[in-house]
Amino acid sequence: MDEVIQVTQWLSSITPRKKAKLFFFTTHADAPSPMVGSNDVDTHEETQLPLATTVALHNFKNIDEFLKKKVNTFSCYNVIENEITKTDYEYLRFYSACKYLGVVPPFLDLEKISAIQNKFEMTDEERDYRLLLDSADLVLEKVCDSLKPAGVSQMWTALRKDRNLIRGVKTIDIIGFFVDPNPTGIKECLFFFIVRFLQKADKINRVNTNRLERLIAQCDESSSCEEGKTIDFIIDSLRFYPTELYPFGFCLIMCVIEGRDGAMQEIEKTMEISRHLGMITHTEKNPTKETIELVKKELMKPKYQFYSSFTCWFMSHGDSNSMVLADGETIEREWFLTSFPDISTFQLKPKVFFMVSCRGANKFSLKGDEFEGQSATCDYYDIGSALIRNRMLDITDSVRDISYVQPMMDTLVAYSTILDHLSGRANTHGSIYVDRACVLMSENISRGRSLTEILEHLSQDLHEILQETMDEDRIVYKQACHYDSFFRKTLKLPYTRHPKEDVHSAPQ
């Protein structure tokens, strides 16, 4: 069959709502850069004009033309070995969006998908199409689905009132002031236009969504929300780090085995819980400084742009300032913690570090006969808010900026013990902190708990456990853990386990 006819038939089989979503996912706002074949020209015409004309004319002709152009580009594209191009990235995004929406063109060359995944050096696990979807866009899709056409129309009216923001933007004038968002698919096009416009104007990104939240807050709840949804519910959904679908993120496990009883148990537990949470995991046993540098270099590869979070477990001996590596050398804990968050592939994404090592030799010792022989280190085991706000500073948009971000932002560091103190371990089971952390995370899947809630529970749980030193003094003591957070949103554990779905992966 002629390819033109195939494309036409494919487009005619897609509903207007899915066309709007496919366009939105395909014109992803945060594509990796710099990349071969990319440039710094404004993509305003490509990402906003088709949406604007569709809303204004109630006609999907320009979106259809955009999708046809994409398909034709991919059809003629020759996958070049080694170097990764902008088209490679777009091809993967387009394929994953089609797969997610259930509209994969029957004529799409899946062998090219596999060849592109080879260029990205993707493992079998990483070839799951869900990895290629952007979690932030999926959250925004759910926000759109929670709003009625009237709600999106009210957002548009509120946006149009911000003269400083919309001044001189031609696509705003194309849509006009009053919009009828009721025809099928028009609500989605208008909402996605608002989102892409705010992103291009540097008013929102995957972490900073305050400007979008303020637009939603101006909606009338009775007429703007779908059944069972509220304005508060919709806004709250934007206040979590976007970690939708599989995988939950990338997990790096580094564990020094030499001279650490139970270290293999630590590895097994952390691997099990990371997989339980739906993470793709890599383990480094007995890391050295060279190992760490190689891992950092690995994490800068383009494929890690697709991950929505990063978690690192580092387990070793240590003191107040440093950690002991497998070859006996030490590294400064502060150096380790500040070098990883600066990796560009995980910018604006949650980064969690579990630092499991002693930070000194002090102990919170317990005296008295009743504590002798008792320890776990053995092998058994809004009032007046409006009034208040009126008295506060008026922080205008002109003094807000989301373009420049401190490297440590969106990072959380969880320590197994407090400064200058021991971190206890069982004779064969390894770190008690690791054991309790894995247990609590496993128990709280499907309960909607945030990571910080679990860490607070862990702090309480760990501090109840009596431990005993392994030297001849056999001192009974308690351990206190804590965390330092630079999070700007809440990181929730996934509601369900996310197994790998082979049936959704591109052919090898």
Q: Write b or e for each residue in 228-239: b if 16 or more Cβ atoms lie within 10 A of its Cβ, otherwise e.
A: ebebeebbebbe
Determine, yes or no, domain membership for 397.
no
* Tens-digit pLDDT profile for residues 328-385: 999 999 999 988 877 888 999 999 999 999 988 886 666 665 555 555 544 433 334 4
- The residue among 265, 248, 249 whose CA lies nearest residue 433 is 265
322 confidence band (pLDDT: 50, 70, 90): very high
- How many C-beta neighbours within 10 Å does residue 165 have? 16
94 plus 185 within the same structural domain: yes
Using a pLDDT cut of 70, give the percent of the chain over it. Answer: 87
Render the burial of 91-124: b for 16+ CB within 10 Å, e for the rest. bbbbbbbbbbbebbbeebeeebbbbbbebbebee
Query: Is the distance from CB of 222 to CB of 474 less than 8 angstroms?
Result: no
Cα separation, 42 vs 484, in Å, equals 39
- Whether residue 381 lies inside any domain: the answer is no
| DSSP letter string, 313-371 | EEE--B-SSEEE-TTS-EEEHHHHHHHSTT-GGGTTS-EEEEEES---SB-EE--SGGG
Beta 351-356 vs 411-415: how paired, if at all? parallel
Structural domain contains residue 141: yes
Tell me what pLDDT residue 471 has.
76
Judge if 195 and 164 occupy the same domain: yes
Instruction: Write the CA distances from 204 to 59, 82, 194, 272, 279, integer angstroms.
Output: 28, 34, 11, 36, 27
For residue 497, is it within any domain? no
The answer to whether residues 230 and 264 belong to one domain is no
By C-alpha distance, which of 24, 46, 4 is closest to 171? Answer: 46
**Residues of the domain holding 8:** 1-28+45-239
Residue 340 lies in a domain: yes
Q: Which of 207, 239, 271 is the last residue of a domain?
A: 239
Does residue 145 form part of some domain? Answer: yes
Give the end of a domain, one of 239, 274, 307. Answer: 239
**pLDDT tens sequence across 135-185:** 999 999 999 999 999 999 999 999 999 888 888 888 898 998 889 999 999
3-state secondary structure 289-300: HHHHHHHHHHHC
Shared domain for 235 and 260, answered yes or no, is no
Asked whether residue 506 is domain-assigned, the answer is no
User: What residues contact residue 419 under an 8 Å CB cut-off, 6+ apart?
Assistant: 320, 359, 360
15 and 72 in contact (C-beta within 8 Å)? no
Stretch 189-204: mean pLDDT, rounded?
94
Number of helices (H), then strands (E), belonging to the chain: the values are 21, 13
Strand partners, 255: 285, 315
Listed residues 239, 271, 302: the one ending a domain? 239
Q: What is the pTM of this model?
A: 0.85
Q: Given this model, what pLDDT does residue 257 score?
A: 94
Inside any domain, residue 389: no
CATH number at residue 274: 3.40.50.1460
Q: Domain check: are 205 and 319 in the same one?
A: no
Q: 222 and 256 share a domain?
A: no
pLDDT confidence of residue 165: 87
- Do 176 and 234 reside in the same domain of the chain? yes
Is 427 found in the same domain as 331? yes
Q: Assess whether 234 and 273 both reside in one domain.
A: no
Residue 65: which of 53, 77, 79 has the closest Cα? 53
Strand order from edge to edge, sheet including 364-365: 364-365, 476-478, 467-468
Tell me the C-alpha distance between 21 and 399, whole Å.
Answer: 33
Are residues 273 and 325 both part of a single domain?
yes
Same domain, 267 and 163: no
Number of domains composing the chain: 2
Q: Do 256 and 229 reside in the same domain of the chain?
A: no
Cα(196)–Cα(51) distance, rounded to whole angstroms? 10
